[in-house]
Amino acid sequence: MAIRRAMAVVVALVMTATFAAAQQAQQQAPKRNKQEQQELERIVKAVDDVMAGQPAPADSTIALEPFFFRAADNKMFVPMVLTITNAPKTDSVMLIRIAPAGATFNPKERKKVEYPWEDAHFLTAAHVTGEPARLTRGFMAPAGTYDLYIALKERLPEKAPKNAVAKTTVHKSSITVPDFFNGELSISSIMVVDKVNNLTAPLTPLEARERPLVFGATEIVPVSDMEFKKSEEFNLNFQIYNAGLDANGKPDLVLEYEFFRADGAEEKPFNKTNPQTVNASNIPPNYDASKFPLPGGIGIPLTSFPEGSYRLAMKITDKVSGKVLTKDMKFTVKG
Strands 233-241 and 186-187: antiparallel
CA distance 112 to 21: 27
Residue 17 has pLDDT above 50, yes or no: no
pLDDT band at 147, cuts 50/70/90? very high
Co-location of 36 and 173 in the same domain? yes
Residue 259 counted as domain residue: yes
Co-location of 146 and 255 in the same domain? no
Cβ 68 vs Cβ 139: under 8 Å: no
Of 177, 208, 226, which marks where a domain is finished?
177
CA distance 174 to 319: 36
The CATH number of residue 8's host domain is 2.60.40.10
Of 177, 211, 234, which marks where a domain is finished?
177
Co-location of 148 and 66 in the same domain? yes
Task: Specify the pLDDT at position 274.
Answer: 93
pLDDT mean over 183-202? 91
Task: Specify the pLDDT at position 30.
Answer: 64
Co-location of 172 and 109 in the same domain? yes
Return the percentage of the chain with pLDDT > 70, whole number: 89
CA distance 29 to 229: 42
Q: Which of 87-91, 101-105, 143-147, 268-272 has the lowest mean pLDDT?
A: 87-91
Residue 187 has pLDDT above 60, yes or no: yes
Residue 26 counted as domain residue: no
Return the percentage of the chain with pLDDT > 90, whole number: 61
14-53 burial, b for 16+ CB within 10 Å, e for fewer?
Answer: bbbebbebbbebbeeeeeeeeeeeebbebbbebbbbbbee
The CATH number of residue 171's host domain is 2.60.40.150
Domain count within the chain: 2
Cβ 166 vs Cβ 152: under 8 Å: no
Task: Specify the pLDDT at position 5.
Answer: 41
The parent domain of residue 80 ranges over 31-177
Residue 184 counted as domain residue: no
Co-location of 201 and 96 in the same domain? no
Residue 24 counted as domain residue: no
Residue 83 counted as domain residue: yes
Residue 315 counted as domain residue: yes
pLDDT digits (tens, 9 = 90+) for 71-102: 888 999 999 999 999 998 889 999 999 999 99
Residue 26 has pLDDT above 60, yes or no: no
Of 117, 146, 177, which marks where a domain is finished?
177
Residue 116 counted as domain residue: yes
pLDDT mean over 237-251? 92
What length does the chain have? Answer: 335
Cα 138 from chain centroid? Answer: 7
